[in-house]
Amino acid sequence: MGCWSRRCGVWVELLADTSLRVLPVTTDDVKHMLGELRGSPLLRGARGTRPADLDVLAQVVKNVGDAALSIPDGSLRTLEINPLWVNGDQVEALDVLVVTGRTEGS
């Protein structure tokens, strides 16, 4: 499964295909979240695509959450990965945006 353009994010937003949790999360939390997605059949190999290794994907998502929590309190403003390419046990963040810094008055 994967998308090679930012349009994937548009589809996620239009279809409201999201699952949210408060950090920290466990890999089991992430696997449950992935199962909540309408697009989860794509992760399981729908239409002949290579199934995602959900254990590896869950670990990557957990690690991103852990990294976000490790940034000094109050200084993480944005963390975005779009797209996150998944092909079997290969997971690649093709574009990442991290914005840190305190906002005015904080």
> pLDDT by residue (tens digit) across 62-74?
999 999 999 998 8
Q: Which one, of 58, 40, 52, lies nearest residue 86 by Cα?
A: 52
What is the DSSP-derived secondary structure letter of residue 21?
A: -
Q: Tell me, what amino acid is at 90? A: Q
What's residue 7's pLDDT?
54
Q: What is the pLDDT of residue 19?
A: 92
pLDDT of residue 16: 86
pLDDT in tens, 73-93: 889 999 999 889 999 999 999
